[in-house]
Amino acid sequence: MNKDFNDNFIGKKYAKFGKNCVELINGMLKWDPKERISAREALMNNFFQEMPIMSKNSFAKFQKFL
């Protein structure tokens, strides 16, 4: 698969999750194992250093089950 196509597809599909998420996915899905990031590198990615966006009530969507 063409690198530009892959980067553009993932970039568009997952853009709402942020630049760090897109970079992480691209790094993990490299076709060439020499270019692919390791599990350790993936865990050290800035994506996992970001604070999650919390809503006022994170469990609101589950209240219908109570």
Q: Are 45 and 27 within 8 A, CB to CB?
A: yes
Give the H or E element holding residue 42. helix 39-43
Q: Which of 59, 55, 30 is nearest to 42 (CA)?
A: 30
Cα–Cα distance measured from residue 38 to residue 61, given in angstroms and rounded to the nearest whole number: 35
For each of the chain's 66 residues, which pLDDT tens digit applies? 445 545 578 888 888 888 899 999 999 999 999 999 999 999 999 988 887 666 666 677 676 665
